[in-house]
Amino acid sequence: MTDIDLSEPADAHPPPPIPPVASPPPPGSVPAGSTVLSLVEAMAGRLQEAGVAFGHGTSNAHDEAAWLTLWKLGLPVDALDEVAASPVSAERARLVEAVIEERISTRQPAAYITREAWLQGVPFYVDERCIVPRSFIAELLGDPALGMQLDAWLGADTHHVLDLCTGNGSLAVLAAMAYPEVDVDAADISPDALDVARINVQRHGLGERIRLIASDGLTALPHRYDLILCNPPYVNAKSMATLPQEYRAEPEIALAGGADGMDFVRRLLKDAPNHLTPGGVLLLEIGNEREFFEAAFPRLEAVWMEVSAGADQVLLVTREALGR
């Protein structure tokens, strides 16, 4: 097992520099007399016309334009209603337009431009070394109503949690916040992703409770856990071949799951019983791959969890069910 030393200074593994933004468009290309809201609407039209893909924190052109506009103007990204009527100078509007043009020309997810993403209202640093966090598991950790489904499987003897395929560490951080008495291990095969996770662990002051571990699946993890969280690479080969450019900008290792999307999942379910305590559970996200999952594991007893996207994205499996 390779432990990542969280006592290193925050800049021991500095993030890559933010790439330079193209020069602002020339005067006159942004409507005169813009307000924040009218600028957002104009930029949403640009994104819509360009046919960019969403799904990395927003689901539509308006929300993405609002995010990038407010970020570039230095305003809270959730404050559009409060600042909608505020005037925006032509110079500042052109700076916003430059960010929108960067989003269109590079097809980078907006989070890679802003270097920030949110899960359950919690901010996380993100860059190209990891995928943009968007796991529905976060809802089961941060939403009290949905979280009751998971809490029913946990108890006073839940002490050790693993976030496998941690990426930028967001689920590990949310788990530590949701369960103040537990210790959390956060594991990933990618040293780059673990460097990003370190930034977020330190940002949220959780270095004493979250341990970062380099591991290929469960191979470097000798401990048993009461709860394993995993948002693995599960995208099937056919879907990988047709992903929009925004998704292809992310590390392929975090997305590609082989022909049916189940390559990593097969290893995980085979190894998990030896890494779960008696009564321990695995919470697994498989996205839109339920059909492939059930074809690969037709006799596995799984409990499907309700999240905002429905009841076929996240499942729970007990150690006992895995051992049958």
Q: What is the pLDDT of residues 33-70, one digit of tens each?
A: 799 999 999 999 999 999 999 999 999 999 999 999 99
- The pLDDT assigned to 299 comes to 96
Tokens linked to 171: 């689920």
- The pLDDT assigned to 30 comes to 65
Scanning 209-282, the segments in alpha helix (DSSP H) are: 237-241, 245-248, 263-271
Q: Which residues of the chain have pLDDT under 70?
A: 1-32, 324
In terms of CATH architecture, what is 36-114? Orthogonal Bundle (1.10)
- The pLDDT assigned to 135 comes to 97
Please state the pTM of the whole predicted model.
0.89
Question: Residue 212: which of 232, 229, 195 has the closest Cα?
Answer: 195
299 conformational bin, left if phi > 0, alpha if psi -120 to 50, beta if neither: alpha
- The pLDDT assigned to 281 comes to 98
- The pLDDT assigned to 29 comes to 55
CB of 43 closer than 8 Å to CB of 65: yes
Q: What is the pLDDT of residues 237-293, one digit of tens each?
A: 999 999 999 999 999 999 999 999 999 999 999 999 999 999 999 999 999 999 999
- The pLDDT assigned to 5 comes to 36
Question: Residue 169: which of 203, 137, 214, 201 has the closest Cα?
Answer: 201
Domain spans of the chain, in order of start: 36-114, 120-322
Query: What is the fold of 120-322?
Result: Rossmann fold (3.40.50)
- The pLDDT assigned to 33 comes to 75
Q: How many CB atoms lie within 10 A of CB 115?
A: 14
